Amino acid sequence: DGGITQSPKYLFRKEGQNVTLSCEQNLNHDAMYWYRQDPGQGLRLIYYSQIVNDFQKGDIAEGYSVSREKKESFPLTVTSAQKNPTAFYLCASTNRGDLENIQYFGAGTRLSVL
Amino acid sequence: RKEVEQDPGPFNVPEGATVAFNCTYSNSASQSFFWYRQDCRKEPKLLMSVYSSGNEDGRFTAQLNRASQYISLLIRDSKLSDSATYLCVVNWPGNYQLIWGAGTKLIIKP
C-alpha cells in the first residue's frame, strides 16, 4: 500500500528540547513538504525539498530544520528556538512530473509543549 | 504577497440543499487550482482539481474565473457526510509551492 507515514501521531516537547518528526513515503515522489497548521488557519509552509540533498525554506522556517538524505525520508526537527511549537504538523509529497503538482498528505503529528 | 482568501463560515445548511463557496487568489499567473477537504483533526485530502472550463464530479462542481481571480465550489443535494472544512489551494508560479486558504467550514444538518 503506497502512502506517506508520519510518526509519532502525538508528541510532547519540554522547554528547551529539540524534537524530530518523522515523514516517510513509498510513492517514489521527488518533492516533499512540511506544513504547520494552527487552529482555524490554513497550512503554512515550513520547508520543502525537490530532490535528495537539497531543500528550501518556506514562509515560516525559523526555529525548524530538515534533512533529505534519502528520497523516501524528510524528517523535521523542531528546535528550542521555536518558541511557539504547539500545532498540527503535516508532511506532503508530490511527483515533480505531475504538471498539476497535486500534494498527498500523511496523517499528521500533533505537537504540544509540556 | 501570497494570498488565498476564503469565507471561514461556518455555513449551516440543511441536508439536501445546495451550497456554494468562493475563494479569491492574489497571483494572476497561477495555473493550478484545487479544492481539498479536511475533516476535524485529520489531514487534507484532494476533493477535485479545478479546470479552466469548469468541471464536475458527481454532486460537486468547480468553476474558475480568471478575470476576477476566484474559484468556486458548488455542492448539490448535500449529505451529512459532506460536513467538513473545504480548503482552496492555488499554485505559486515558478516553484513547487501551493498556497492554502484557511478553509470554509460546512455543517450539514439533518
Does any CB of chain A come closer than 8 Å to the CB of residue B70?
no
Q: Smallest CA–CA separation between B2 and chain A, in Å?
A: 10
- Say if residues B45 and B88 touch (Cβ distance below 8 Å): no
Q: Which residues of chain B neighbour A94 with C-beta distances below 8 Å?
A: 96
Q: Which residues of chain B neighbour A40 with C-beta distances below 8 Å?
A: 8, 102
- Hey, what's the cell of B34? 484545487
A113 vs B58, residue with greater confidence:
B58
Write down the pLDDT at residue A77. Answer: 97
Enumerate long-range contacts of A58-66, CB under 8 Å, 24 or more apart: A58/A33, A58/A34, A58/B97, A59/B2, A60/A36, A64/A34, A66/A34
Kindly report the average pLDDT of chain A as a whole number: 93
- Hey, what's the cell of A105? 498528505
Does any CB of chain B come closer than 8 Å to the CB of residue A102?
yes
Q: Which residues of chain B neighbour A88 with C-beta distances below 8 Å?
A: 41
What is the C-alpha end-to-end distance of chain A, expressed in Å?
A: 35
Interface of A with B in 64-93 (CB under 8 A): 88, 90
Q: Give the H or E element holding residue B37.
A: strand B33-38
Lowest-pLDDT range of A46-55, A73-82, A97-106, B38-47: A97-106
A72 vs B3, residue with greater confidence:
A72
Residue B43 to residue A31, Cβ atoms within 8 A? no
Q: Smallest CA–CA separation between B76 and chain A, in Å?
A: 25
| Per-residue pLDDT band at A1 (split at 50, 70, 90) | low
In the 8-state DSSP scheme, what is residue B8? -
| Separation CA B37–CA B57 (nearest Å) | 14
Write out residues in chain B with pLDDT < 70, as ranges.
Answer: 1
Q: Which residues of chain B neighbour A35 with C-beta distances below 8 Å?
A: 100
Write down the pLDDT at residue B1. Answer: 66
For the residues of chain A, what is the DSSP string, one character each?
---EEEE-SEEEE-TT--EEEEEEE-S--SEEEEEEE-TT--EEEEEEEEETTEEEE-TT-TTEEE--SBTTB--EEE-TT-S---EEEEEEEE-TT-TT---EE---EEEEE-
- Say if residues A79 and A61 touch (Cβ distance below 8 Å): no
B96 vs A27, residue with greater confidence:
A27
Nearest CB partner across the interface for A101, out of B45, B98, B101:
B98
